[in-house]
Amino acid sequence: MNEKYKDLFSTFTLPNGVELKNRITMAPMTHYSSNPDGTVTDEELKYYARRSHGVSMVITACTNVTANGKAFTWQFAGDCDEMIPSLAKVAKTIKEQGAKAVLQIFHGGRMCPPDLVPNGDIVSASSVAAERPNAKTPRALTEAEIEDIIEAFGETTRRAIEAGYDGVEIHGANHYLIHQFFSPHSNRRNDRFGGSLEKRMMFPLAVIDKVKSTVAAHAKSPFIVGYRFSPEEMETPGIRMDDTLAFVDVLANKGLDYLHFSLGEFFSTPRRGVEDLNKPRVQYLLETINKRVPLMGVGSIQTAEDARIALESGVELLAVGRELIIDPDWVQKIQEGRENEIITKIQPDKQNELVVPDGLWQKIMNVPGWFPVA
């Protein structure tokens, strides 16, 4: 290994005592390849097996906690006990390759296509449509329904424990339901779940509390609980950088094992809400957290040098997504001193060699600009 990359392969112990073999994790990525009933396919298991050997931890594709939380076609589910055997196959596949298996749990809220949820009943914090083409206006959840969804996050956490996962990541990013409760664009409520910045934090914090209490009640060994968030959104009104820093200040004291920011570019800069718009978001986050909880960073990490520079920012962990689809041996190549052999553009004739399921492959090939294509 090239000496300058050795820090990428140092071990790291999470707050709950779980040791990770290196600083590189696989980012959660939807793969559009499950069975219609929400169970996993052999294609997906092979996809995970191919990518789980080098990284220390694999965060799965997002898994819906209720039937009305499904946001993607051909997505695997975690909303009922019948899904435990299916979920267990994914956990076993990842762990057999030497990585920790973390199930990402979510509810899609107003981002769910009507044809994927019972009776087309799209729900959110408030009856405000997303700012995207053909967006449907959701129905505002009642307080009783909110409590039911909080409970559902706990139940899916229990299923993850029973299925043999090492942890869960609560998906509070990317415009899904937890994000929708925190956003002033999608949350116009005036009850205990909306209004002020503090009240917009109530739903995410209640989900965290439920997940943690479920872990305390059911896990027989240390179980990872992470939280993913998006620092800003483009909408007006929308989440500003100062909103997120106030929220992260609270999250850092919640006893989580890591926070995971969701960004397209690791060193991207804020849009609004802070004085210096030239200072990277990651630096604001690190200053606010001040070592109280590990921070995981993501965003266009393609080369070994990208990873080295990102880790030197001060984050404890890196998440790599698209690059592990393009080159499943990315981690091993750096570890073996073969970083010059890393492939950074997907090769259209290599689907079988890369072990990418058909559903995901079609998306990669048909969504311009999503992946760099050779």
Active site residue 47: no
Tell the burial category of 369 from Cβ atoms under 10 Å away from its Cβ (0-12, 13-18, 19+). exposed
| Helix %, strand %, coil % of the chain (to 5) | 40, 15, 45
Asked whether the beta carbons of 105 and 156 are under 8 A apart, the reply is yes
Pairing between β-strand 57-64 and β-strand 24-26 as defined by DSSP bridges: parallel
178/88 Cα distance (integer angstroms): 25
Token reading at 229: 């968030």
Tokens 């199930």 correspond to 103
Which residues have CB under 8 Å from 74's CB, separation 6+?
32, 33, 34, 35, 36, 359
Q: Which runs of consecutive H residues, i.e. helices, occur in the chain? A: 42-51, 84-96, 143-162, 177-182, 197-200, 202-218, 241-251, 281-289, 304-311, 322-326, 330-335, 351-354, 358-366
Dihedral (C-alpha) 345, 365, 233, 116: value to the nearest 10 degrees? -140
Q: Which amino acid is at 76?
A: F
Token reading at 152: 């559902």
- Of these residues, 165, 176, 258, 284, which one is catalytic? 176
Which residues have CB under 8 Å from 81's CB, separation 6+?
159
Just list the catalytic residues: 176
